[in-house]
């Protein structure tokens, strides 16, 4: 493809076909998470590295890079005394300093960290621990009413591979027996397994290497042009690559202080922006909307804030303008998937407001992106809709113990099939236009109907069901459930909601419920979900007019 494109919006030569490899030649380093922490501990040991963000908007405990390295190595030696290199240990907790310490300690000990959503319920926790074959689980006992300690104890009874459950708020348990020997860790060793929702009804474990994660975060920071000695606020969940990779490892490699906020609250976030002199952050659009409103209601000094990385959904033009006008920060929109560590495309700081709000940017540094015909697998011309595919160093090692799914996701030419539909213009800017699969994007989080449908089908009285995403002004999409009851069974939305709430995380539970007696079907008898969505939109539009 053309190699003479300028990096200021592509004012140089133009692409003929929807394939941009202009940024793919970026140097990829043979780095590990622990090696980077050791290097920063030696080079900038007195810089702030980690600060505790509290729910009231104040900061708590603090670590310099030297102190963080000391604590991480002490914890790592304790883990190494009890677990063998290559074993999996899971972390189940919210955005707290101990989570970050466990991330570093596991990496130093040569262990693979399995990240778990703190909203998960028993069934979801059991699946992740079982599928990953985790030997250890580090958690807190309770968060936002979720009895995590009790749930873990119940699940552990049927998991013989799980040898230890460790309370992250018990310092003696967390730092016990620091007598282990830390192994040599290779850049291509697995560093994490992150579970992403799957169309078969259960998540798939994405195995990511040290090389995947460290380079992806470093190159994101390079695009954003963030320097050392700055601070970032951790708003996105640490169990996701946006948090523990782009946030934590991006801060590490730019010499920034990382401040995880325990639970998102717009006023607490703004107070911490001011208190910690935060220069950059990463969030999803719904968080940004809330922070803009809170800043208008109670202005803070946000003069330090320069860059708002935003992923998970397209950014509306008015939101980009509001962030710039009200928060004083430039928006850097990004798109990715866990399978790509996660970054695939992103905006550049000097992109125009129009490009930022009408696209998901251009290929990330080190990444090649193309648009392909789903039927022929041929490359498409510019401005033609097809599947977005990516090829780079950041592509996952594979799905855990699932070679068939891995082969479906990554083809013989190393292209990652994203499942998203989009187009690319002749400057390399990519737009998303839809999804090959019927995933629901709720507030930046991917939800898959099959998982929710499987739960619904376990409820008494349901004969058939279909779950779709329907539009929502704040969250982009929310879950709607259509159910057909068995003959003689009574439709009770509240009972069904309670059934779902006991089985799956709150964000996956349907918001809207519809009782149907028949379905719109294809010629082969499959439910046409797009028609259910269209019917919902038509019905709700008519009610609002």
> The domain 440-543: what is its CATH number?
3.30.300.30
Query: Does the pLDDT value for residue 43 go beyond 90?
Result: yes
pLDDT at residue 541, as a whole number: 77
Residues 6+ apart with CB under 8 A from 473: none
Is the pLDDT at 284 greater than 90, yes or no? no
pLDDT at 429 over 80: yes
pLDDT at 513 over 50: yes
Examine the pLDDT at 207 and tell me if it is beyond 90: yes
pLDDT in tens, 447-473: 878 789 889 988 999 988 999 999 998
Yes or no: say if 95 and 263 are a contact pair by the CB < 8 Å rule. yes
Per mean pLDDT, which range of 412-416, 496-500, 527-531 is the poorest?
527-531
What is the Cα 461 distance to its own chain's centre?
Answer: 35
- pLDDT(201) > 70: no
User: Residue 115: which H helix or E strand, with range?
Assistant: strand 112-116
- Whether 111 shows a pLDDT value over 90: the answer reads yes
Task: pLDDT band for 248, please (50, 70, 90 cuts).
Answer: very high
- The 3-state DSSP class for residue 492 equals coil
pLDDT at 302: 97
pLDDT given for residue 437 in this prediction: 67
Q: Quick one: pLDDT band at residue 2, thresholds 50, 70, 90?
A: very low
Backbone phi, psi, residue 157, to 5°: -60, -25
Residue environment code for 457-470, b if the CB has 16+ CB neighbours within 10 A, otherwise e: eebeebeebbbbbb
| Confidence (pLDDT) at 522 | 62
Give residue limits of the domains in the chain.
33-430, 440-543
Beta pairing class for 307-310 and 280-283:
parallel
Strands (E), 393-490: 398-399, 416-424, 430-435, 440-442, 445-447, 462-472, 476-485
- C-alpha angle 4-385-221 in degrees, rounded to nearest 5: 50
pTM score: 0.86
Residue 252: its H or E element: helix 248-254
On the question of a common fold for 33-430 and 440-543, the answer reads no
Tell whether the model's pLDDT for residue 102 goes beyond 50: yes
Mean pLDDT, residues 311-327:
82
Q: CB-based burial of residue 148 (10 Å sphere; 0-12 exposed, 13-18 middle, 19+ buried)?
A: buried
Query: What DSSP letter does each residue of 497-523 carry, written as one string?
Result: HHHHHHHS-GGGS-SEEEE-SS--B-T
Confidence of residue 374 (pLDDT cuts 50, 70, 90): confident
Q: Report the distance separating Cα 431 and Cα 420, nearest Å.
A: 10
Provide the 3-class DSSP secondary structure of residue 304.
coil
Mean pLDDT on 85-104: 98
Matching residue, tokens 């749930």? 151
Helix, strand or coil, per DSSP, at residue 50: strand
pLDDT in tens, 21-33: 999 999 999 999 9
DSSP structure class, residue 91: E
Q: Roughly how many angstroms between the first and final C-alpha of the chain, as a whole number?
A: 50
Average pLDDT on 93-107 reads: 98
pLDDT for the residue numbered 67: 98
* 3-state secondary structure string across 327-394: HCCEEEEEEECHHHCCEEEECCCCCCHHHHHHCCCEECCCEEEEEECCCCCCECECCCCEEEEEEECC
Average pLDDT, the chain: 91
Residue 11, pLDDT > 50, answer no
Distance CA 37, CA 27 (A): 20
Residue spans of alpha helices (H) in 44-147:
65-80, 97-108, 122-132
Residue 198 has pLDDT above 70, yes or no: no
Residue 468: which of 501, 433, 498, 511 has the closest Cα?
511
Instruction: Give the chain's count of helices (H) and strands (E).
Output: 17, 26
Q: Would strands 476-485 and 512-515 be described as parallel, antiparallel, or unpaired?
A: parallel
pLDDT confidence of residue 474: 86
pLDDT, position 107: 98
Domain 33-430, CATH: 3.40.50.12780
Cα–Cα distances in angstroms (integers) from residue 20 to residues 114, 334, 335, 353, 390, in the given order: 33, 16, 15, 22, 10
Q: Which of 7-21, 139-153, 250-264, 513-527 has the lowest mean pLDDT?
A: 7-21
pLDDT band at 542 (very low <50, low <70, confident <90, very high): low
């Amino acid at each position: 493809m053309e190699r003479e494109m300028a990096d200021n919006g592509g004012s140089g030569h133009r692409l003929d076909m929807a394939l941009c490899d202009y940024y793919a030649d970026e140097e990829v380093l043979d780095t590990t998470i622990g090696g980077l922490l050791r290097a920063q501990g030696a080079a900038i040991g007195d810089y702030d590295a980690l600060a505790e963000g509290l729910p009231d908007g104040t900061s708590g405990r603090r670590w310099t890079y030297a102190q963080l390295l000391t604590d991480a190595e002490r914890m790592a030696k304790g883990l190494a005394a009890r677990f063998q290199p290559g074993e999996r240990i899971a972390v189940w907790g919210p955005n707290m300093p101990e989570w970050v310490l466990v991330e570093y300690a596991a990496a130093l000990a040569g262990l693979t960290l399995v990240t778990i959503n703190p909203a998960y319920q028993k069934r979801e926790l059991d699946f992740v621990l079982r599928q990953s074959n985790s030997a250890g689980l580090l958690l807190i006992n309770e968060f936002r009413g979720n009895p995590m300690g009790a749930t873990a104890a119940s699940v552990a009874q049927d998991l013989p591979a799980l040898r230890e459950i460790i309370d992250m708020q018990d310092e003696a348990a967390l730092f016990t027996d620091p007598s282990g020997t830390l192994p040599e860790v290779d850049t291509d060793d697995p560093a994490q397994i992150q579970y992403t929702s799957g169309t078969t009804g259960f998540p798939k474990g994405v195995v990511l290497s040290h090389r995947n994660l460290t380079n992806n975060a470093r190159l994101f920071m390079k695009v954003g042009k963030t320097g050392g000695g700055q601070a970032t606020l951790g708003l996105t969940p640490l169990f996701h690559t946006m948090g523990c990779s782009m946030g934590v490892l991006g801060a590490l490699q730019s010499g920034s202080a990382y401040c995880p906020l325990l639970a998102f609250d717009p006023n607490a976030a703004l107070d911490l922006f001011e208190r910690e002199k935060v220069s950059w952050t990463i969030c999803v659009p719904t968080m940004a909307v809330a922070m803009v409103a809170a800043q208008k209601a109670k202005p803070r000094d946000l003069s330090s804030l320069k860059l708002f990385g935003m992923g998970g959904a397209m950014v509306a033009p008015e939101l980009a303008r509001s962030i710039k006008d009200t928060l004083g920060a430039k928006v850097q929109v990004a798109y990715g998937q866990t399978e790509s560590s996660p970054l695939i495309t992103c905006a550049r700081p000097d992109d125009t407001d129009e490009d930022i709000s009408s696209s998901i940017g251009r290929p990330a540094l080190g990444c090649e992106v193309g648009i392909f015909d789903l039927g022929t697998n041929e490359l498409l011309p510019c401005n033609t809709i097809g599947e977005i595919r990516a090829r780079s160093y950041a592509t996952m090692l594979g799905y855990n113990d699932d070679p068939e799914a891995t082969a479906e996701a990554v083809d013989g030419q190393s292209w990652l099939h994203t499942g998203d539909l989009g187009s690319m213009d002749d400057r390399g800017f990519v737009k998303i236009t839809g999804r090959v699969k019927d995933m629901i994007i709720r507030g930046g989080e991917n939800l898959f109907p099959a998982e929710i449908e499987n739960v619904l089908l376990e409820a008494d009285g349901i004969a058939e069901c279909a779950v779709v995403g329907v539009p929502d002004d704040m969250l982009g999409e929310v879950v709607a459930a259509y159910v057909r009851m068995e003959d003689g069974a009574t439709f009770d939305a509240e009972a069904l909601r309670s059934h779902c709430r006991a089985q799956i995380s709150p964000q996956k539970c349907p918001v809207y419920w519809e009782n149907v007696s028949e379905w719109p079907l294809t010629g082969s008898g499959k439910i046409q979900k797009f028609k259910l969505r269209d019917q919902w939109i038509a019905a709700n539009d008519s009610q609002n007019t």
